[in-house]
Homo-oligomer: A and B are copies of this chain.
Amino acid sequence: MSVTIKDVAKRANVSPSTVSRVLSDSSKISEKTKRKVRKIMDEMGYHINLNARVLVQKSTQTIGIVMKHSASHSLHNPFFPEVLRGISAYCNKEDYSISLTTGESEESIFNEVVKMVQGQRVDGVIVLYSKKDDKVVPYLIDQNFPFVVIGKPLSETSKVMYVDNDNIQAAKEATEYLIKLKHQRISFIGDDPDFQVIQDRLNGYQEALRVHGLKGSDDYIKHFEYGTPNGVQVVEDLIHLPDPPTAMVISTDVNALVVMKELRNRNITIPKDISIVSFNNTIVSQLASPPMTSIDTQTYQLGYEASRCVIELIHDPKMFKRSLIIPTVIKIRESSQVNEGLKYV
């Protein structure tokens, strides 16, 4: 059995409450007693039982991270480690711990969240996605539990605090950048369109086309299906279009890497034949061949700020629910250039 506050108290000839006060470095304990008690703590190898403290103080100093359905999915995307890094950094600063969901299905994740929240294992939650028909966010609102979502919530925006990029604007800029390079036939490749971030980027893309009087076509809009390696199909479809695209806006850099590989397999050169702009600017974009033009969403910052927000919210639950937009920056690299017209097939 581990040594408790009582054991220390006995040995130090003080009461348990005194020991407790020393633990929290209370100002009403004399320096002398503090020293004495601390010495005994050391000698006895005392260490506080956090669960007991949590039980009475009702503060866990830990925040829960909700990943999107299937940890697998999240974890395959370099976006995730990068947000986590940001979250982690701020939590560390504030001495908060991190607890991760492990669920593989929406259902099981939801249950984990309920368990975290109701089981009082966390003080706040960061939701790493915003998705159609998601139950987590409505639940947290209903419980009036401190949380922040990374991404733009689909409804009740006034009730939720979020940290996001302006994805519409970012995609618009990406597309306009291509338009300035004289591209006229620009394709958009996303993934699961149930996620708001994909919708936003799609909208931004479409808006850019509209504003510049380019005819869009549904044939130019494709989505990777999660779990299926349908990159092949997507690329096939696009290049065999009567008027194949000369440029592509691709929702994440890993997806862009897949597309680039498929194009390469068909001897289509980037950027000569097709220009590519991707999102996230993770290490993958820089190291790809050719290096990708990518919209830097400042993922680390997204995580850092989200974490700052929840923690502030925990400290002041009635705080004004401001939301944050993290600016994006287009990093121009070699995967995009002025349209030369298609020379392939």
| Chain A residues with a Cβ under 8 A of chain B | 2, 47-52, 54-55, 60, 62, 71-72, 75-76, 78, 80-82, 84-85, 88-89, 91-92, 96-100, 102-104, 108, 112, 114-116, 118-121, 254, 257-258, 260-261, 264, 283-284, 287-289, 291
Contacts and interface: CB of A to CB of B under 8 A. Distances in A.
B287 A120 contact: no
A283 B254 contact: yes
A291 B89 CA distance: 34
This chain's copy number in the assembly: 2
Could you tell me the dominant secondary structure of chain A's interface residues? helix
A118 B264 contact: no
Contacts of A289: 260-261, 264, 288-289
Contacts of A54: 51
A250 to B, nearest CB: 13
A80 B75 CA distance: 9
A92 B104 contact: yes
Given A51-B120, A62-B99, A260-B289, 15 more contacts: A47-B118, A51-B51, A51-B60, A51-B119, A71-B85, A72-B89, A75-B85, A78-B81, A88-B102, A89-B104, A96-B102, A98-B100, A99-B100, A261-B289, A261-B291
